[in-house]
Amino acid sequence: MALIQEQREGAILVWTFTRPERLNALPDLTDGDEIAALCERANADPSVSCVVLTGEGRAFSAGGDLKAMKDRRDLFEGSGAAIRERYRRVVHRIVRALYGLEVPLVTAVNGPAMGLGCDIAGLGDIRIASDKASFGIPFMKLGIIPGDGGSWLLPRNVGYNRAAEMLFTARSIDAETADKWGLVNRVVPHDSLMDEAMATARQIAGQPPQALRMGKTLLRQGRDMNFDQMLEMSAAMQALAHLTEDHIEGVTAVLEKRPGQFSGR
């Protein structure tokens, strides 16, 4: 069964986890291929400017399938070497693909986001939470560690000490706490979640497509570059941006006090 249903509104793709009967548990063995293919198509399509990711039902994603873990099947079957290889080819393929999205990713967290689900929510460039959302990385209580790169991602989202508290205690946090800690941009009433996420996505999609993708690249690369490296990369990308038709349109629109009409050229 496919993990994600895709819908399109203009330049926006809406991806919805569609395993509500399993609280959108993941990954099944085919999920890495599916998500990688979706991300590759979005990256290759210059008419796509934003992706919104959410979950069907009462959970965003409960993370790993505990029954499969207990039974040592599917992702968790076989030797340590076999399990490691499946993590690399399935779990890591999911997070690498989502992290590698060239367009902004808005995660609309509609309910519990646990384990891998929490880390996927945290991959959003902009994260909007329902007041029914909660977040947790309960790996320790299961006798395992974050195998999905969460120990790299979470400290960058909430700081080392708060990431340590979440990991070492295995306690979940509610949406209000996630907002205070910077894990989400804002919390909205549950029934308004997708309206808020789509309003944000429409604002993003109204920006010049090439500049939008370059801007995301600069923000992501800036996490690990030093200042001099970032200045060099910024100068190179800025030179390209200045030569686009959308740059001239943007300047003209501001001078004429009207919204820009961007073509992606």
What's the CA gap between 204 and 9, in Å, rounded? 13
Question: In degrees rounded to 5, what are phi and psi of residue 218?
Answer: -65, -45
- What mean pLDDT is predicted for residues 60-78? 92
pLDDT tens-digit profile of 1-24? Answer: 689 999 999 999 999 999 999 999
- What mean pLDDT is predicted for residues 33-42? 97
What's the CA gap between 188 and 3, in Å, rounded? 26
Q: Write the CATH number for 41.
A: 3.90.226.10
Residues 90 and 217 in one domain: no
Residues 215 and 143 in one domain: no
Residues 133 and 229 in one domain: no
Residues 80 and 109 in one domain: yes
Which pair of structure tokens corresponds to residue 27?
């990954």
- What mean pLDDT is predicted for residues 230-252? 93
Residues 17 and 145 in one domain: yes
- What mean pLDDT is predicted for residues 72-76? 92
Residue 159 banded pLDDT, cuts 50, 70, 90 = very high
Q: Write the CATH number for 230.
A: 1.10.12
Question: Of the candidates 256, 156, 249, 161, which has an alpha carbon nearest to the alpha carbon of residue 211?
Answer: 249
Residues 95 and 194 in one domain: yes
Are the C-beta atoms of residues 105 and 51 closer than 8 Å to each other? yes
Strands of the sheet with 134-136, listed across from one edge: 112-114, 134-136, 173-174
pLDDT beyond 90 at 45: yes
Q: Which secondary structure element, helix H or strand E, spans residue 114, and what is its range?
A: strand 112-114
Residues 165 and 237 in one domain: no
Residues 213 and 150 in one domain: no
What's the pLDDT score for residue 133?
A: 98
Domain span including residue 218? 209-255
Residues 134 and 181 in one domain: yes
Residue 247 banded pLDDT, cuts 50, 70, 90 = very high
In a domain, 88, yes or no: yes
Residues 82 and 99 in one domain: yes
What's the pLDDT score for residue 2?
A: 82
What's the CA gap between 94 and 34, in Å, rounded? 9
Question: Which runs of consecutive H residues, i.e. helices, occur in 29-149?
Answer: 31-44, 66-71, 80-86, 92-99, 116-122
Residues 201 and 215 in one domain: no
What's the pLDDT score for residue 182?
A: 97
pLDDT beyond 80 at 249: yes
DSSP 8-state assignment for residue 3: S
In a domain, 53, yes or no: yes
For the chain, what percent of residues have pLDDT higher than 70? 100
pLDDT tens-digit profile of 50-61? Answer: 999 999 999 999
pLDDT tens-digit profile of 196-217? Answer: 999 999 999 999 999 999 999 9
pLDDT tens-digit profile of 88-102? Answer: 999 999 999 999 999
Is cis: bond before 146, omega within 30 of 0? no
What's the pLDDT score for residue 216?
A: 96
pLDDT beyond 90 at 38: yes
- The count of structural domains within the chain is 2
Question: Of the candidates 69, 52, 44, 38, which has an alpha carbon nearest to the alpha carbon of residue 10?
Answer: 52
In a domain, 260, yes or no: no
Residues 69 and 129 in one domain: yes
What's the pLDDT score for residue 264?
A: 86
What's the pLDDT score for residue 153?
A: 95
**Which residues neighbour 33 within 8 Å (Cβ) at sequence distance 6 or greater?**
93
